[in-house]
Amino acid sequence: MKYAQARQGRVFILRLEDGEIVHEVIEQFALDHDITAASVILVGGADDGSRLVVGPRVDRQLPVEAMKHQLKNVHEAVGVGTLFRDEEGVPLLHMHVACGRVDTTVTGCIRDGVKVWRVMEVIIHELVGTDAKRVVEEPLGLKLLRP
């Protein structure tokens, strides 16, 4: 285990609008408001055609080949994630959402493009006093959190 300590900074309340791509809007907001680290929660609707990364195709195989899932129709969505800058200072949101409709739920990472249906509410809890960032780590080749 690796860890770092931080304090809570500002709290932002966002309303995302119909058709916006969740991670793009939140990452741009972080740039515009100089947020370098945060925890993020959301609730709302994920639109038809939204795309999720739903796991590796083969457990423990390298390189990792991601499985992807495209939503068919509108789904209720709830998510939690973290936002940290990478080594170039670019904010990257790592968020997983559970999307449900009737009696089916799929859970995955939003990096492939989750589109807002009508409205989505987002709360960003800024973390201050930390140098944690996302750094490419091999052999996965992913930008992982380095506290």
Total of domains in the chain:
1
For 92-145, write each residue's pLDDT tens digit.
999 999 999 999 999 999 999 999 999 999 999 999 999 999 999 999 989 999
For 32-57, write each residue's pLDDT tens digit.
999 999 999 999 999 999 999 999 99
In this prediction, residue 128 carries a pLDDT of 98
Q: Who's near 140: CB < 8 A, 6+ residues apart?
A: 62, 63, 64
Q: Which two tokens stand for residue 102?
A: 């009737």
Residue 35 counted as domain residue = yes
Residue 2 counted as domain residue = no
Return d(Cα 90, Cα 101) in angstroms, integer: 34
How far CA 16 is from CA of 102, 111, 115, in Å, comes to: 24, 16, 10
CATH code of 136's domain? 3.30.1330.80
DSSP string, 6-25: -EEEEEEEEEEETT-BHHHH
Return d(Cα 135, Cα 147) in angstroms, integer: 10
CB 100 within 8 A of CB 52: no
For 80-105, write each residue's pLDDT tens digit.
999 999 999 999 999 999 999 999 99
Residue 66 counted as domain residue = yes
Residue 1 counted as domain residue = no
Q: Which two tokens stand for residue 49?
A: 């055609």
Residue 42 counted as domain residue = yes
Range of the domain at 139: 7-146
pTM of this prediction? Answer: 0.96
- pLDDT band for position 31 (cuts 50, 70, 90): very high
Helix (H, G, I), strand (E, B), or coil: what is residue 89?
Answer: coil
